[in-house]
Amino acid sequence: MLHGNKHTQFDWCNVDWTAAAVWKLSMLEFGELCATTPSPTPMLKWSVDKLGTIWMDEVRCNGNEPGLSACSFNGWAHHDCSHGEDVGVCCHQCPPGIRPNPQPDGIRLVACRGDGCCRVEVEHDGTWGTVCDDSFSDADAQVVCRQVGCPTGGARQIQAFGGGSGPIWMDQVSCSGSEPGLSMCNFDGWAHHDCSHGEDVGVCCQGGCTSGGGSGGGSGGVATPGLRLVACRGDGCCRVEVEHDGTWGTVCDDSFSDADAQVVCRHVGCPTGGARQIQAFGGGSGPIWMDQVSCSGSEASLPTCHFDGWAHHDCSHGEDVGVCCQGGCTSGGGSGGGSGGVATPGLRLVACRGDGCCRVEVEHDGTWGTVCDDSFSDADAQVVCRHVGCPTGGARQIQAFGGGSGPIWMDQVSCSGSEASLPTCHFDGWAHHDCSHGEDVGVCCQGGCTSGGGSGGGSGGVATPGLRLVACRGDGCCRVEVEHDGTWGTVCDDSFSDADAQVVCRHVGCPTGGARQIQAFGGGSGPIWMDQVSCSGSEASLPTCHFDGWAHHDCSHGEDVGVCCQGGCTSGGGSGGVATPGLRLVACRGDGCCRVEVEHDGTWGTVCDDSFSDADAQVVCRHVGCPTGGARQIQAFGGGSGPIWMDQVSCSGSEASLPTCHFDGWAHHDCSHGEDVGVCCQGGCSGLESVGQPAVLHSKIVSLLHK
């Protein structure tokens, strides 16, 4: 059973369990996993010695509740029991060994050797990990091969295959051989083991098969990381980079041969004839993923060759390997590899001035950074303009444009002027520079163009970050937040004018007439992205106005600016507007009253009961799709965990969602979880049938049980 973030296995005290309660659990919650013969299951008092929390006591169900936690009980972890009183249930004709987990967790075969034997990795809770070889048998190997879509005949396990990293998810696996997935077999529980990665198990499927193209779990079959060629020189030779666990890294040149280079060229879709490797190409950054690579030359991708295991090496980045494919080819347009061919990072023009000149930023390894002006020429500026889809005639560079932040990715750039994108020009290597942000280069394209609408570049042209209006008050005035580098932050009110407010309202799709700014709206958190904003009022989005540069400010969150758009408008149907976090009702009692939880920044948390009224409860019920008549709040409902997101909530009662009401700001509170608020909606409604607002109830037993 799952409560909060903690799993326990059926640790409910057996006091007051009824046949109706047990029967309802077996029939409604386990569904097809148990036969549905309509006869009650007798109460069973079953003692098991299982460590963990005893979550429930004095459970009383009438038999028609949608889930166990909708029944009456003493409250989470309130009990007078020992584990000798842990209750169990028997479902009528439930097949032995079947657990409520109809879909197996993801599985993949990685670090495959020349003989087709590979390490087994499974995905749990969004993270990949390994499987220990204790008790792992050929029957278990058959299940692995079946799950990735390979024949099971002759499947065998490899003890101490080793070389993995991350969590060891499974140990003491015991399969019959007929299961559809490895996580359906018996094992000691997720992350319960006494193993090291030297004991990571491997399997060999029939004929060296590593994938049958099936859908078995997660990324099923061989998880082939991407491969890219970067920092290419004029002769077409490039550094090799591979992607593993979502991060790009380099390959060491130890033992790297021309046969290995052939595989790289094939991987990116180039001819393999004449492929050769370049020792000590160097210049990379980040992890060194592969060393002692040994390919026959016929493999489809580099990670299927033999190597020492991810991140196992004795190299420095001076030993990063490069390759030269036939005719200087860097991409054949095929499907080979993750991002196949030359991985051209995105390029964007930001902080554009009134004359259309902008700072140049490039994306590398998922992070935006600037370009140093050393040796940067008008020929280089032509390439930038071409990259974003603008005419190149008259393109010119601006020395010391400045104002950037983050890494300085490129220095000593030297282009002929005909290149398709800036990273294909010669430069000193990613993050190799002797510059400061005062030397960030800018460019001016013909006619002040900042984007031609073409396909050039990552986000081509002006990269307009998102903008949203949050913490809106009853009068429709809201705090302004902008997104930069994937993170939301606020805008300082220094010099912020009504003309700037007009741009904000236009950005989110609202009328601009009468738009006005609110000084010291405050209440935000996270970075303060913009300061000294100065717009003419005609700009399409706030980041195209002049400002001091991302995160350059002398402000506090008390100076976060707000705006009021015409008629209290907060969104015109675009992607801007009010960012309404999710809301759910959890830990519902027998009377239908539940604790309120809201989602902010991807994390669920509670709401404090300070000043929380029945009008606020009406908004909660409306938010989850329930009738608002008779809605009432419950002070000190309590029992939550995680952040307390909202305090001093004040709604009129007509709002569409709770976060649009006035409150003190995300995570600003003086409360404890004993003050977590609850609500009771009309008729005990909790929003189970609400479309688009998933009131995710802990009482849904399928989601409570551990896979």
Which tens digits make up the pLDDT trace of 622-658? Answer: 887 788 888 999 999 999 999 998 999 998 888 777 8
Stretch among 10-19, 172-181, 536-545 having the lowest mean pLDDT = 10-19
Q: Quick check: 203 pLDDT over 70?
A: yes
Are residues 587 and 692 located together in one domain of the fold? yes
Is the C-alpha dihedral spanning 551, 557, 561, 562 positive or negative?
positive
**pLDDT tens digit sequence for 235-252:** 778 899 988 777 889 999
Is the C-alpha dihedral spanning 260, 262, 266, 268 positive or negative?
positive
What's residue 331's pLDDT?
Answer: 60
Are residues 418 and 499 located together in one domain of the fold? no
Are residues 128 and 20 located together in one domain of the fold? no
Residue scoring higher pLDDT (68 or 198): 198
What's residue 688's pLDDT?
Answer: 41
Q: 598: helix, coil or strand?
A: strand
Is the C-alpha dihedral spanning 47, 52, 57, 63 positive or negative?
negative
Are residues 264 and 316 located together in one domain of the fold? yes
Q: 591: helix, coil or strand?
A: coil
Share of the chain above pLDDT 90, in %: 29
Are residues 76 and 93 located together in one domain of the fold? yes
Residue scoring higher pLDDT (664 or 254): 254
Q: Quick check: 536 pLDDT over 50?
A: yes
Confidence label for 257 from pLDDT (cuts 50, 70 and 90)? very high
Are residues 314 and 353 located together in one domain of the fold? no
Tokens of 359: 């700072």
Residue 442 DSSP symbol: E
What's residue 218's pLDDT?
Answer: 30
Residue 338 DSSP symbol: S
CATH code at 180?
3.10.250.10
Residue 460 included in any domain = no
Residue 454 included in any domain = no
Residue scoring higher pLDDT (387 or 456): 387
Question: Stretch 306-316: mean pLDDT, rounded?
Answer: 87
Are residues 596 and 698 located together in one domain of the fold? yes
Residue 351 DSSP symbol: S
Contact partners, residue 668, CB within 8 Å, separation at least 6: 523, 647
Quick one: CA torsion of 639, 642, 647, 652, rounded to 10 degrees? Answer: -80
Among the listed residues 224, 257, 243, 255, the one whose alpha carbon sits nearest the alpha carbon of residue 289: 243
Contact 402, 439 (CB under 8 A): yes
Tokens of 683: 């008729």
Confidence label for 66 from pLDDT (cuts 50, 70 and 90)? low
Kindly tell me the burial class for residue 86, based on how many C-beta atoms sit within 10 Å of its own C-beta (0-12, 13-18, 19 or more): buried
Looking at the structure of the chain, the number of domains it has is 6
Q: Quick check: 554 pLDDT over 80?
A: yes
Question: Stretch 202-216: mean pLDDT, rounded?
Answer: 65
Residue 110 CA to its chain's centroid (Å): 22
Where is the domain boundary, 159, 175, 208? 208
CA distance 145 to 201: 13
What is the b/e burial string over 521-557, where b = at least 16 CB atoms within 10 angstroms of the residue's CB?
bbbbbebbbbbbbebeeebebbbbbebbbbbbbebeb
Stretch among 145-149, 175-179, 581-585 having the lowest mean pLDDT = 581-585
Q: 420: helix, coil or strand?
A: coil
What's residue 90's pLDDT?
Answer: 64
What's residue 537's pLDDT?
Answer: 86
Confidence (pTM):
0.26
Contact 475, 490 (CB under 8 A): no
CA distance 160 to 95: 34
Question: Stretch 179-189: mean pLDDT, rounded?
Answer: 87
Among the listed residues 51, 53, 62, 57, the one whose alpha carbon sits nearest the alpha carbon of residue 87: 57
Stretch among 140-149, 156-165, 183-192, 202-211 having the lowest mean pLDDT = 202-211
Residue 457 included in any domain = no
Question: Stretch 355-361: mean pLDDT, rounded?
Answer: 84
Q: Quick check: 691 pLDDT over 50?
A: no
Q: Quick check: 130 pLDDT over 70?
A: yes
Residue 126 included in any domain = yes
CA distance 170 to 47: 26
Question: Stretch 182-207: mean pLDDT, rounded?
Answer: 90
Contact 376, 397 (CB under 8 A): yes
CA distance 413 to 465: 27
Residue 546 DSSP symbol: B
What's residue 695's pLDDT?
Answer: 33
Tokens of 14: 């057996």
Residue 215 included in any domain = no
Average pLDDT over the chain, rounded to an integer:
76
**What does 358-386 look like in DSSP terms, one character per residue?**
EEEEEEETTEEEEEB-TT--HHHHHHHHH
How is the chain split among helix, strand and coil, in percent rounded to 5? 15, 20, 60
**pLDDT tens digit sequence for 608-626:** 999 999 999 998 888 877 8
Question: Stretch 462-466: mean pLDDT, rounded?
Answer: 44
Q: Quick check: 319 pLDDT over 50?
A: yes
**What does 556-583 look like in DSSP terms, one character per residue?**
-GGGB-EEE-GGG---SSSS-SB----E
Q: Quick check: 301 pLDDT over 50?
A: yes
CA distance 474 to 564: 11
Beta strand segments in 383-505, E: 396-398, 408-410, 442-444, 467-470, 478-484, 487-491
Are residues 41 and 124 located together in one domain of the fold? no
Residue scoring higher pLDDT (659 or 330): 659
CA distance 647 to 606: 9
Residue 459 included in any domain = no
Among the listed residues 48, 38, 32, 27, the one whose alpha carbon sits nearest the alpha carbon of residue 90: 27
CA distance 74 to 597: 21
Q: Which residues form the domain of 279?
A: 227-328
What's residue 25's pLDDT?
Answer: 40
Residue 573 included in any domain = no
Stretch among 145-159, 348-362, 583-597 having the lowest mean pLDDT = 348-362
**pLDDT tens digit sequence for 433-456:** 999 999 999 999 877 777 643 223
Max mean pLDDT range (36-40, 53-57, 406-410, 542-546): 406-410
- Beta-bridge mates of residue 362: 347, 369
Q: 110: helix, coil or strand?
A: strand
Are residues 558 and 471 located together in one domain of the fold? yes
Where is the domain boundary, 297, 328, 359? 328
Q: Quick check: 11 pLDDT over 90?
A: no
CA distance 444 to 384: 9
Are residues 323 and 387 located together in one domain of the fold? no
What's residue 63's pLDDT?
Answer: 78
Would you tell me how many other CB atoms lie within 10 Å of the CB of residue 347? Answer: 25
Residue 395 included in any domain = yes
Where is the domain boundary, 528, 544, 568? 568
Confidence label for 704 from pLDDT (cuts 50, 70 and 90)? very low
Tokens of 478: 């809201």
Question: Stretch 356-363: mean pLDDT, rounded?
Answer: 86
Are residues 54 and 89 located together in one domain of the fold? yes
Q: Quick check: 144 pLDDT over 80?
A: yes
Among the listed residues 473, 557, 540, 532, the one whose alpha carbon sits nearest the alpha carbon of residue 505: 540
Contact partners, residue 415, CB within 8 Å, separation at least 6: 377, 379, 380, 382, 383, 422, 425, 426
Q: Quick check: 696 pLDDT over 50?
A: no
Contact 55, 3 (CB under 8 A): yes
Residue scoring higher pLDDT (254 or 422): 254
Are residues 598 and 690 located together in one domain of the fold? yes
Question: Stretch 316-324: mean pLDDT, rounded?
Answer: 93
Would you tell me how many other CB atoms lie within 10 Å of the CB of residue 505? Answer: 24
Q: φ and ψ at 265, to 5 degrees?
A: -60, -40
- Beta-bridge mates of residue 99: none
Q: Quick check: 701 pLDDT over 50?
A: no
